[in-house]
Amino acid sequence: MIKLRLCRTVSIVLVICLLAMLSGCSHQEDDGTGYPFTCTISGNPECLDPQYTDNQNAQIVIETIMEGLLRLDETGNLIPAGAESYTVSDDGLFYEFHLRNDCYWFSAGTEQKDAKPVTSLDYVFAFRRLLSPETDSPHASEYFCLKNASAVYNGQVKPEKLGISAPDGATVIFELETPEEDFLHLLAQSCAVPCNEDFFLSTNGRYGLDDRTILCNGAFCLTKWAYDAYGSGNFLTFRKNSMYYDAENISPSSLQFTIMRSQREADDDFSQGNSDVILTDNEPVSYLNSKKYVVRNSCTKTLGLIFNPENEILKNPDFRKALASGIDREHYAELLNGSLQPASGIIPPAVQILGRPYRELYADEPLSMPYAPEESASLFEKSLESASMNDINALKILLPDSFTETQALLSVCQEWQNLSGHYIGIEIVSAKEYRERLESGDYSIALYNFATPRNSCYASLQSFCENAELFGIPDARAILESLSGKESLSEKVSLYGEAEKKLLENNAFIPLFYQNLYLIYTSDNTDIYPRPFTHSVDFRKAKHFA
- 121-159 pLDDT tens trace: 999 999 999 999 999 999 998 899 999 999 999 999 999
Set out the domains of the chain in order of their start, with CATH numbers: 39-291+523-544 (3.40.190.10), 299-516 (3.10.105.10)
pLDDT: which is higher, 481 or 384: 384
Chain CA centroid to CA 100, Å: 27
Q: Are strands 36-41 and 254-259 parallel, antiparallel or unpaired?
A: parallel
> SS3 sequence, 119-146?
CHHHHHHHHHHHHCCCCCCCCHHHHCCE
- Alpha-carbon span 235 to 258, nearest angstrom: 4
Residue 16's pLDDT is 33
Band the pLDDT of 485: cuts 50, 70, 90.
Answer: low
Could you tell me the pTM of the whole model? 0.82
Q: What percentage of the chain reaches a pLDDT higher than 90? A: 67
Q: Are the C-beta atoms of 523 and 292 separated by less than 8 Å?
A: yes
- Tell me: pLDDT of 15 over 50: no
Q: What percentage of residues in the chain have a pLDDT greater than 70?
A: 93
- At 145 the pLDDT is 93
Q: Mean pLDDT throughout 63-91?
A: 93
Output 392 or 99, whichever has higher pLDDT.
Answer: 99
pLDDT 10s digits, 230-280:
888 999 999 999 889 999 999 999 999 999 998 889 999 999 999 999 999
**CA angle in degrees (0–180, nearest 5) for 48-464-440:** 75
Mean pLDDT of 66-91: 93
pLDDT at 9 over 50: no
Please report the pLDDT score of residue 168 as a whole number: 95
pLDDT of residue 285: 81
d(CA 414, CA 422): 9
More confident of the two residues 20 and 340: 340
CA distance 508 to 467: 12
pLDDT band at 10 (very low <50, low <70, confident <90, very high): very low
pLDDT of residue 200: 96
Query: Running DSSP on this structure, what letter comes out for residue 477?
Result: H
What average pLDDT does the structure give for the chain? Answer: 89
Smallest Cα–Cα separation from 397: which of 431, 434, 433, 425? 425
* 483/475 Cα distance (integer angstroms): 13
Band of pLDDT at residue 427, cut at 50, 70 and 90: very high
- Under the banding of pLDDT at 50, 70 and 90, the label for residue 486 is low
Of 303 and 386, which is predicted with more confidence?
303
Q: 291-305: per-residue pLDDT in tens?
A: 899 999 999 899 999
Q: What is the mean pLDDT of residues 430-453?
A: 92
Decide if pLDDT at 484 tops 90. Answer: no
How many other C-beta atoms are found inside a 10 Å radius of the C-beta of residue 502? 15
Beta strands in 417-459, from DSSP E residues, in sequence order: 425-429, 445-451
pLDDT value at position 471? 85
CA distance 436 to 43: 20
Q: How far apart are CA 452 and CA 518, in angstroms?
A: 15
Please check the confidence at residue 18 and state whether its pLDDT lies above 50: no
pLDDT at residue 489, as a whole number: 63
Query: Is 239 or 5 the better-scoring residue by pLDDT?
Result: 239
How do residues 155-211 score in pLDDT, each as one tens digit?
999 999 999 999 999 999 999 998 888 899 999 999 999 999 999 999 999 999 999
| Residue 524: CA count within 13 A, CB half-sphere | 10
Yes or no: say if 501 and 325 are a contact pair by the CB < 8 Å rule.
no
CA dihedral 192, 200, 117, 138 (to 10 degrees): 0
